[in-house]
Chain A
Amino acid sequence: MKLIKTMAAAAALLAATQAGAQDDPVKVGFIYVGPIGDGGWTYEHDQARQAVEEHFGDQVETVYRESVPEGADAERAITQMALGGADLIFTTSFGFMDATINVAEKFPDVKFEHATGYKTAENVATYNARFYQGRAVLGHIAGSMTESNKVGYIGSFPIPEVIRGINSAFLHARKVNPDVEFNVVWAYTWFDPAKEADAAQALIEQGADVILQHTDSTAPLAAAEQAGDVIGFGQASDMAEYKPSPRVASIIDNWSPYYIDRVQAVIDGTWESHSVWQGIGDGTVEIGEITDAVPEDVRQEAADLRDRIGSGEYHPFTGPINKQDGSAWLAEGEVADDETLLGMDFYVEGMTGDIPN
Chain B
Amino acid sequence: MIALVRRPAPSRLWTVLTPPLAVLATMVAGGLMFAALGKDPVLAIRTIFWDPLFGEFAFYYRGQLLVKAAPLILIAIGLSLGFRAGIWNIGAEGQYILGAITGGAVGLAFYPLDSWIVFPLMVVAGAFGGFLWAMIPALLKVKFRTNEILVSLLLVYVAEQLLAYMALGPLKNPEGQGFPGSRNLSQYDAAANNELIAGSGMHWGVVAAFIAVIAAYVLLNRHLTGYHIRLTGQAPRAARFAGVNPNLLTIFCLGTSGALAGLAGLFEVAGPAGQISIDFNVGYGFTAIIVAFLGRLHPVGILLAGLLMALTYIGGEAAQSQLGLPAAAIQAFQGMLLFFLLAVDMLTNYRLRFGRAQVA
Q: Which residues of A contact B (CB under 8 A)?
A: 3, 6-7, 10, 13, 29, 35, 63-67, 69-73, 75-77, 79-81, 83-84, 94-95, 98, 118, 157-160, 188-189, 342-345, 356-357
- Determine which of A35, A98, A343, A357 lies in contact with B169 in the assembled complex, contact meaning CB atoms within 8 Å: A357
CB of B344 closer than 8 Å to a CB of A: no
For the complex, what is the distance from the CA of A66 to the CA of B321, rounded to whole Å?
Answer: 9
Number of interface residues of B (CB under 8 A): 39
Contact A157 B178, CB 8 Å, known A66-B327, A80-B317: no
A345 touches B178 (CB 8 A): yes
B272 CB, nearest partner CB in chain A, Å: 4
For the complex, what is the distance from the CA of A143 to the CA of B177, rounded to whole Å?
Answer: 31
- Determine which of A6, A76, A159 lies in contact with B64 in the assembled complex, contact meaning CB atoms within 8 Å: A76
Q: Which of B268-289 contact A (CB under 8 A)?
A: 268, 272-275, 277-280, 282
- Among A13, A67, A73, A158, chain B packs the most CB atoms within 10 A around the CB of A73
Q: Which of B13-36 contact A (CB under 8 A)?
A: none
B4 CB, nearest partner CB in chain A, Å: 38
B277 CB, nearest partner CB in chain A, Å: 6
Listed by A's residue number, 8 A-B pairs whose Cβ atoms lie within 8 Å are A63-B322, A71-B279, A76-B317, A80-B318, A84-B322, A98-B275, A160-B179, A344-B178
Contacts of A344 in B (CB 8 A): 178
For the complex, what is the distance from the CA of A13 to the CA of B58, rounded to whole Å?
Answer: 13
B11 CB, nearest partner CB in chain A, Å: 38
Q: A65-B327, A80-B318, A84-B322 given. 5 additional CB < 8 A pairs?
A: A70-B279, A72-B268, A72-B273, A83-B57, A157-B278
B321 touches A159 (CB 8 A): no
B322 CB, nearest partner CB in chain A, Å: 6
Contacts of B64 in A (CB 8 A): 76
A77 CB, nearest partner CB in chain B, Å: 6
A43 CB, nearest partner CB in chain B, Å: 14
Q: Which of B165-219 contact A (CB under 8 A)?
A: 165, 168-169, 177-180, 184, 197, 199-200
Contacts of B334 in A (CB 8 A): none
B96 CB, nearest partner CB in chain A, Å: 13
For the complex, what is the distance from the CA of A6 to the CA of B168, rounded to whole Å?
Answer: 42
Contacts of B50 in A (CB 8 A): none
Contact A158 B180, CB 8 Å, known A29-B321, A63-B321, A83-B57: yes
CB of B339 closer than 8 Å to a CB of A: no
Contacts of B321 in A (CB 8 A): 29, 63-65, 77, 80-81, 84
A3 touches B177 (CB 8 A): no
Contacts of A84 in B (CB 8 A): 321-322
B180 touches A75 (CB 8 A): no
B178 touches A77 (CB 8 A): no
CB of B328 closer than 8 Å to a CB of A: yes
Contacts of A77 in B (CB 8 A): 317, 321
Contact A79 B322, CB 8 Å, known A66-B327, A157-B278: no
CB of B10 closer than 8 Å to a CB of A: no
B178 touches A160 (CB 8 A): yes
Q: Determine the residue in chain A with the shortest Cβ distance to B169.
A: A357
B55 CB, nearest partner CB in chain A, Å: 10
B280 touches A71 (CB 8 A): yes
A73 touches B282 (CB 8 A): yes
Residue-wise, chain B 117-150 has the 8 Å CB interface mask toward A (1 for contact) of: 0000000000000000000000000000000000
- Determine which of A7, A81, A95, A160 lies in contact with B199 in the assembled complex, contact meaning CB atoms within 8 Å: A7
CB of B164 closer than 8 Å to a CB of A: yes
B284 CB, nearest partner CB in chain A, Å: 10
- Determine which of B57, B178, B268, B274 lies in contact with A343 in the assembled complex, contact meaning CB atoms within 8 Å: B178
Contacts of B184 in A (CB 8 A): 98
- Among A65, A77, A160, A344, chain B packs the most CB atoms within 10 A around the CB of A65
Q: Which 5 A-B pairs have the closest CB atoms?
A: A72-B272, A345-B178, A67-B327, A6-B59, A72-B273
Contact A94 B179, CB 8 Å, known A3-B199, A10-B59, A80-B318: yes
Contacts of B275 in A (CB 8 A): 98
Contacts of B58 in A (CB 8 A): 6
A323 CB, nearest partner CB in chain B, Å: 14
B180 touches A159 (CB 8 A): yes
For the complex, what is the distance from the CA of A72 to the CA of B64, rounded to whole Å?
Answer: 11
Contacts of B280 in A (CB 8 A): 71
B179 touches A3 (CB 8 A): no
Residue-wise, chain B 42-80 has the 8 Å CB interface mask toward A (1 for contact) of: 000000000000001111100010010000000000000
Contacts of A69 in B (CB 8 A): 279, 282
Contacts of B278 in A (CB 8 A): 157, 188
